[in-house]
């Protein structure tokens, strides 16, 4: 059985719901895939099976040869 709890809105209680549901199941693997704020560890001690850095996008660069330094930023 797989139970997934997801939403794009932060602060709705997804982690709390997952922690509560996981208490009802005996043999369970809990995974927190929140890129910005994974916090399931606040409820459980566990071990990282795999941990990788996440890079979500490209970093902007200023092309100095085209920049007129208009000070918009």
Domain limits, the chain: 1-49
Whether the pLDDT of residue 73 is over 60: the answer is: no
Tell me how far apart the alpha carbons of residues 14 and 9 are, in angstroms, rounded to a whole number.
Answer: 9
Q: Using the CB atoms, write b or e for 5-19: b if 16+ within 10 Å.
A: eeeeeeeeebbeebb
High-pLDDT (> 90) share of the chain, %: 3
Contacts of 35 (CB under 8 A, 6+ apart): 54, 56
Mean pLDDT over residues 59-66, rounded?
Answer: 88
pTM of the model: 0.55
Render pLDDT for 35-48 as a digit per residue (tens, 0 to 9).
788 888 888 887 77
Report whether 40 contacts 30 (CB < 8 A): yes
């Amino acid at each position: 059985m797989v139970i997934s709890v997801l939403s794009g809105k932060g602060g709705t209680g997804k982690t709390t719901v997952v922690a509560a549901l996981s208490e009802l199941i005996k043999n369970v693997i809990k995974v927190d895939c929140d890129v910005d704020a994974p916090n399931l560890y606040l409820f459980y001690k566990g071990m990282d099976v795999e941990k990788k850095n996440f890079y979500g996008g490209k970093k902007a660069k200023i092309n100095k040869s085209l920049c007129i330094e208009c000070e918009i930023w």
